[in-house]
Every structure is written in structure tokens, then in C-alpha cells.
Amino acid sequence: MPAIPTCLFPPIQPTRHGMLQVDALHTIYWEEVGNPKGIPVLFLHGGPGAGLSPQHRRFFDPQQYRIILFDQRGAGKSTPLGEWRENTTQLLIGDIETLREQFGVDKWLVFGGSWGSTLALAYGQAHPERCLGFILRGIFLCTAAEVDWFLHGVRWFYPELYEEFVAPIPEAERADLLTAYTTRMLCDDPAVYWPAARAWSRFEGRRVFLLPQPEDTASDTLDLGVGRLESHYMANQGFLREDQLVQDVGRIAHLPCVIVQGRYDVICPPLSAYRLHQAWPGARLRMVADAGHGALEAGIAKALVGATEQFKRSGRFD
């Protein structure tokens, strides 16, 4: 974990939090922070399956924003942890609408990074009338090319991590790593799915930041949520048509948006942010020259806080 950027707002505790049963299988954790009469903003975490961090509350001025955050199905404090059944993009969009109605919000600003940007775009395109605008980071459009990069292309930058990642998989299965890992992680045998989930989570986590960070032992909650749900969603291409989020951008192109992208992001490379911006000329693209993928890298955090500050003043991004 890098040092916490000084640009973030001070640590803050939720004013309310709770659990919401969204169907017979899933119960999701939610929390509300800041001014209950402020600008409503929805925070969407990455992964899928990564869950919330206390730092996520700190991108917003708590005097001006009503900040609503939740752990998506199978992630963080939501139960059952790592559950992939009854877990699709369309169901997550339904959960967001359930939360919006529970909180009595008419429209909100949608803030999401990495997979959170995917879900933000999918939600916005399904319910544009409920969105004030978007702050998006580390764009992931969930296309076949991006999934292939995540699994294979990154070996051009991190060959040693790639070798570690493929090592547990028999050579006969390595031509289709996604199927190999998904089969292991979505089985019911802990002796099989735990090693696979930890290997997957480590493969991703060690390339988040541009500069090397102290080794951080990931939690079992993060490993299982990320491993199972990322592989599940990637195997199903995010439950989206190929390139759906670019093709349908016209549904939200009238809304303000800022895209914050690390130039050296090797998890979600800049091409996706560039393609989204080309399809959405009204969006503002902030390419951070000295950053990778992490929201807590100094340049990315500064750009994100700058965006929330600008939106609270004018309701747009210049």
C-alpha cells in the first residue's frame, strides 16, 4: 500500500451503514458518509470483488457531498463472500437502483474506477435519467482484447509475474488460462479454489502501482472476492455485448464526464480510455503522466479530488 496522498480529505466514519437483502442468496453492505443534504454521489469499487476501503470515502468533501458506497454482490462485507451465482452486471445495476430508491435519491454523480468504471458506464447507459455525471478512472470496457491483455499481454512488462501465474496450471491447460482458473475458482473444494484465488489476486495486485510498493499480504476477503468474481465476469465478458459500452455511449453523451487515466497502467491500458474519449468527445480526459492503475497514486488521487471539487462548484468539468 502506498502512502496515503495528502490531497485526500481527512478520514471519516459512516453516518449510517447496514445490510440490504437483494434476493434470496445475496445481502449487500452499504454505508452513507458526509452531508445528508449534499450532492448525492455513488461510489463503485473495482474488481469485480475488490470491495470498499475506508480511503474510498476520502475523495469527496464531506461538507458538500452525500456519499453512498456499497460492497457489490460477493465482495467485502456483502454475503456470501465470493458468491458468483446470481451475480451479473444486470443484477448489480438492479442493486444500484434498489439503493437509490432506498436512499430517496433522484439523481446522483457516479464515481467508479477500473471495474467500477465498467459498472458506472453500464448503469448510466441503462438509467441515464438517474445520473448527474461521471468521474471514471482506469477505464475497463470489458472487451475480449482487454481480457486477453489482462491475462497474457502483460507478460511483456511483467514476465516474472506471468511465469508465477501460469506455474500452477498444467501445460496442457495453459492455452486457455481463463478457463483453467475459472474452473478451479468456481468449484466447491476449498483445497482447489483457495490456491487459485490467491494466485489470481497476487498476479493482479503486484502490478497495480507504477512504482514498486512494500509487499502487502492480501486478505482472504480480497483474494476470494477478486479471484472468483473477476474470473467469473471475464469468462462471461462482463455480461455485455462486445464493445457495448462504446457503442451505447450516445445514451449518456449529454452528461458531464471526466476520465482519469494513468499513462503506465498495465492492468487497464490507456487505449480503452482513449477509445471512450473518442466516442464521447464531451468527456474530459486527464492522462496522468507518472501513474499506473492505483487510485491512491499521488497524481491519480489529485486528479480525482480535483474532479469532485470542480463538480461541487459548477456541476461540470472544464
Residues classed as catalytic? 114, 265, 293
Cell numbers found for residue 7: 490531497
Rounded CA-CA distance 307/246 in Å is: 22
Among 97, 45, 25, 49, CA closest to 233: 49
Among 97, 57, 93, 71, CA closest to 304: 57
* Helix intervals (H) in the chain: 89-103, 115-126, 144-151, 159-166, 177-185, 190-205, 220-235, 244-247, 270-279, 298-314
Among 152, 149, 135, 118, CA closest to 48: 118
For CA atoms 288, 290, 296, 298, give the dihedral sign.
negative
Q: Which residues contact 278 (CB under 8 A, 6 or more apart)?
A: none
Q: DSSP letter at 285?
A: E
